[in-house]
Structure 1
Amino acid sequence: MRSAFTAAAVLVAATLLAGCGSGTTDGDKTNGGKVTASQSASPTAGAGGEKHTVTLAVTGSGTAKIGYNLASNAFETHKLPWTKTETLELTGAELRVGHLVSVVPGPVPAGDGMLKTAACVIKVDGKQVADNNGGKSPKPCEFLLK
């Protein structure tokens, strides 16, 4: 029980700190964790800004606490596998400094009965831009969308 509580507390702290990060993680795949209009598969420029479709995914079996920062933010329990897709429109300062998207997967049972971090992935306009190495990295998945 204590380890589950500790893991949940770490996940909450990581979610809160994710907004303070540089936007780069070991799992980032492009341009230091940044996507630009020329790199994304199909951004849509609206009258007020640039739109991107962002998908967060956590894989595994059973249920896990998942914290995420997208157009909306939440920390909830979900049945796995789980995905959340939202369209983000970057406007004003977000076009220059970016918008941090992140997903913090909670622990899931491993084959040996121990708990391990669930695997997470972030896709922007259909292109994978961040992951946590199939759950082998304890870091959350995060990406600075520009």
Structure 2
Amino acid sequence: MRKTATLTISLLAAAALLAGCGSEKKDAGSAKAGDAAASAQVSGGAKGAAPKKGVPHQVVFEVGGTGASQVMWIGSTNHFEQVTLPWTKTESVQLEDAELKVGVTVSVVPGSVKGKDGMLKPAPCTIKVDGKSVADNQGGKSAEPCKYKLKD
């Protein structure tokens, strides 16, 4: 019971921390004048200049197992929901402006699944970018979430 509570608390803490680390894109039409000027200064472009964009990447998040589980993933936006396993989500992620230099972390935090011994363990997860496997948690052997720094 203590192990289950510790794992649940760890997953919730990871989810809360990662929820603040996403990259929300602002709608250019809703930006305030001050935001537009600051954006232009940061990106080095003139006021109202179009953002620099990289190539779109296909990011595939996968969580294995059976049954239902909570899953959090960060791609182009943050998501947290109850899913049926096995689960796959594909997103297109395109880096813009400063993200082109520093990159963006994409990640998936799988919930727990029941192991062969009846104990709860992290569900297996993987991330693929443009068809290439870039992150996994060794079939659920690692309690770490799957994460990858996407750069152009």
Normalising by structure 1, we get a TM-score of: 0.74
Letter in 2 for 1:13: A
Question: Deviations 1:109-135 (Å, cap 9, x if unpaired)?
Answer: 111111011000000001000000000
Residue 71 of structure 2 is matched in structure 1 by 66
Q: Which runs of 5 or more structure 1 residues have no equivalent in the other structure?
A: 21-46
- Which entry has the higher C-alpha Rg, 1 or 2? 2
SS of 1:138's equivalent in the other structure is: coil
Q: CA RMSD in A?
A: 2.0
Question: Deviations 1:92-145 (Å, cap 9, x if unpaired)?
Answer: 111101111000001101111110110000000010000000000010000000
Shift, 1:74, TM fit? 1.6
> Which is helix-richer, 1 or 2?
2
Question: Deviations 1:35-58 (Å, cap 9, x if unpaired)?
Answer: xxxxxxxxxxxx732210000000
Equivalent pairs counted in the alignment come to 120
Percent identity between the two aligned chains: 51
Counterpart selection for 2:88 from 83, 90, 99: 83
Counterpart selection for 1:138 from 133, 138, 143: 143
Distance 1:71 1:11 in 2: 21
Give every structure 1 segment of 4 or more consecutive aligned residues whose post-TM-superposition deviation is greater than 2 Å. Answer: 1-9, 15-20
Q: Which runs of 5 or more structure 2 residues have no equivalent in the other structure?
A: 23-51
Counterpart selection for 1:125 from 112, 130, 134: 130
SS of 1:62's equivalent in the other structure is: strand
Shift, 1:73, TM fit? 1.2
Which of 1 and 2 has higher RCO (CA within 8 Å, sep 6+)? 1
